[in-house]
């Protein structure tokens, strides 16, 4: 199982980010981790409408950061007492996604926990959310929290595509499940359409082709899960469809609390930038919490 010794939770003190703090604390307690509570102060110089001198900018930022540090420490103290975990605090000055990534690197974070949205919702519509920006550059597993963190996860979905990253996707799903039901799901997407076109061209039985493709995917799932610890406890599912839509529909239909997805780096290039990757599309559209990991158990950009 992956080690989750150091967990970084980013908060902007919004009501929504309270879910981030509670979920990170639950996971820290589950794994005996140290939780780092991070708040990034947006410097005044990033607000173009303000006309202040550099000294005025600096004095305000320093005073505000000190006030936010006191506020953060109060939250950390309450979390430590409630969950019985070690909590460290840090404030940084700058752009949220940049500073969160830098701090995660500095403490060698095993998991970064952030909210799907925060207090600057309108600004995010124009500039891009912190979550979306962070996913493009951070090199750590990232948990994007949407749901209230009142209870542990009850249903966890590992979305696998049979790439080398799929085994890590399943192990992370098991690690965060904490006794919850875990399913490994494979969506047969573009490869099915390609083979169906070939089947029509060769005038073969399409129903037979579909059965064969499904059987092939099921055998791959069995092979993927066989060597994994607790592999027998993971349910297997194969569905066909456009992967982002099929995954989101499955999450809604089966009331999934957490979906674990793999990122494959930047090799998709311009095509990925224009059309979006499956993992990013699901992460931004689903109603569930999302854990994004990359090669070697790290988040890929």
Predicted local confidence at residue 33, as pLDDT? 97
Q: Both 96 and 189 in a single domain?
A: no
Q: Both 90 and 102 in a single domain?
A: yes
**Rounded average pLDDT over 121-137:** 57
* CA–CA distance, 291 with 178 (Å, rounded to integer): 15
pLDDT beyond 80 at 243: yes
Q: Is the pTM of this model over 0.85?
A: no
3-state SS, one letter per residue, for 195-261? HHHHHHHCCCCHHHHHHHHHHHHHHHHHHHHCCCCCHHHEEEEEEECCHHHHHHHHHHHCCCCEEEE
Domain boundary among 99, 119, 148: 148
Q: Both 184 and 171 in a single domain?
A: yes
Predicted local confidence at residue 272, as pLDDT? 44
Which H helix or E strand runs over 192?
A: helix 190-201
Domain boundary among 94, 119, 148: 148
Q: Both 32 and 136 in a single domain?
A: yes
Asked whether the beta carbons of 257 and 294 are under 8 A apart, the reply is: no
* CA–CA distance, 51 with 49 (Å, rounded to integer): 7
Question: Who's near 113: CB < 8 A, 6+ residues apart?
Answer: 7, 8, 9, 10, 20, 23, 24, 27, 142, 143, 145
Q: What is the largest distance, in Å, between two alpha-carbon atoms of the chain? A: 77
- Residue-wise pLDDT for 39-60, tens only, equals 998 764 444 444 445 554 555 5
Identify which has the larger pLDDT, 179 or 259. Answer: 259
Task: Provide the edge-to-edge strand list for the sheet that holds 86-93.
Answer: 86-93, 34-41, 6-10, 111-115, 142-145, 289-293, 258-262, 155-159, 181-188, 234-240
**Rounded average pLDDT over 190-196:** 61
Q: Choose among 158, 134, 171, 143: nearest CA to 296.
A: 171
- Residue-wise pLDDT for 50-93, tens only, equals 444 555 455 555 666 777 888 999 999 999 999 999 999 999 88
Q: What is the mean pLDDT of the chain?
A: 81
> What's the token pair of residue 240?
């066909």
pLDDT more than 90, % of the chain: 47
Domain boundary among 148, 173, 191: 148
Predicted local confidence at residue 285, as pLDDT? 86
Q: Both 176 and 122 in a single domain?
A: no
Domain that holds residue 94: 1-148
Q: Both 9 and 135 in a single domain?
A: yes
pLDDT more than 70, % of the chain: 74
* CA–CA distance, 300 with 49 (Å, rounded to integer): 35
Q: Quick one: DSSP state of residue 276?
A: -
Predicted local confidence at residue 138, as pLDDT? 78
What CATH number should be reported for the domain holding residue 283? 3.40.50.620
Instruction: Give Cα 188 to chain centroid, integer Å.
Output: 22
Among 8-12, 67-71, 124-128, 297-301, which stretch is predicted with the lowest mean pLDDT?
124-128
Identify which has the larger pLDDT, 205 or 250. Answer: 250
Q: Both 233 and 268 in a single domain?
A: yes
Instruction: Mark residue 16 as left, alpha or beta (left: phi above 0; alpha: psi -120 to 50; beta: remaining).
Output: alpha
Q: Both 137 and 183 in a single domain?
A: no
Number of domains in the chain: 2
Identify which has the larger pLDDT, 202 or 110. Answer: 110
**Rounded average pLDDT over 155-171:** 92
Q: Both 288 and 156 in a single domain?
A: yes
* CA–CA distance, 39 with 68 (Å, rounded to integer): 8
Q: Both 80 and 200 in a single domain?
A: no
> What's the token pair of residue 123?
């600004």
Q: Nearest 5°: phi and psi at 261?
A: -125, 150
pLDDT band for 158, please (50, 70, 90 cuts). Answer: very high
Q: Both 166 and 273 in a single domain?
A: yes
Among 117-131, 146-160, 189-203, 213-227, which stretch is predicted with the lowest mean pLDDT?
117-131
């Amino acid at each position: 199982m992956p080690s989750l010794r150091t967990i970084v939770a980013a908060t902007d003190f919004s009501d929504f980010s309270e879910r981030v703090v509670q979920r990170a604390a639950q996971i820290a307690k589950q794994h005996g981790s140290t939780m780092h509570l991070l708040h990034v102060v947006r410097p005044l110089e990033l607000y173009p409408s303000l006309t202040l001198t550099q000294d005025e900018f600096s004095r305000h930022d320093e005073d505000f950061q000190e006030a936010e540090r006191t506020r953060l420490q109060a939250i950390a103290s309450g979390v430590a007492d409630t969950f019985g975990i070690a909590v460290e605090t840090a404030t940084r000055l700058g752009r949220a996604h940049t500073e969160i990534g830098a701090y995660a690197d500095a403490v060698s974070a095993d998991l970064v926990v952030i909210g799907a949205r925060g207090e600057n919702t309108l600004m995010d519509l124009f500039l891009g959310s912190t979550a979306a920006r962070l996913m493009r550059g951070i090199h750590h597993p990232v948990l994007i929290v949407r749901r209230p963190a009142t209870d542990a996860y009850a249903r966890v979905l590992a979305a696998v595509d049979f790439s080398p990253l799929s085994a890590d996707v399943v192990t992370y799903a098991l690690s965060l499940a904490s006794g919850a039901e875990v399913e490994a799901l494979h969506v047969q997407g573009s490869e099915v359409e390609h083979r169906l076109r070939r089947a029509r061209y060769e005038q073969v039985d399409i129903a037979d082709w579909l059965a064969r493709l499904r059987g092939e995917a099921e055998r791959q799932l069995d092979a993927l899960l066989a060597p994994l610890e607790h592999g027998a406890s993971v349910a297997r599912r194969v569905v066909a469809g456009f992967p982002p839509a099929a995954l989101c529909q499955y999450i809604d239909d089966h009331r999934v609390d957490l979906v674990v997805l793999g990122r494959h780096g930047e090799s998709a290039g311009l095509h990925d930038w224009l059309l979006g990757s499956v993992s990013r599309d699901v992460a931004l559209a689903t109603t569930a919490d999302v854990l994004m990991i990359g090669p070697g158990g790290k988040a890929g950009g």
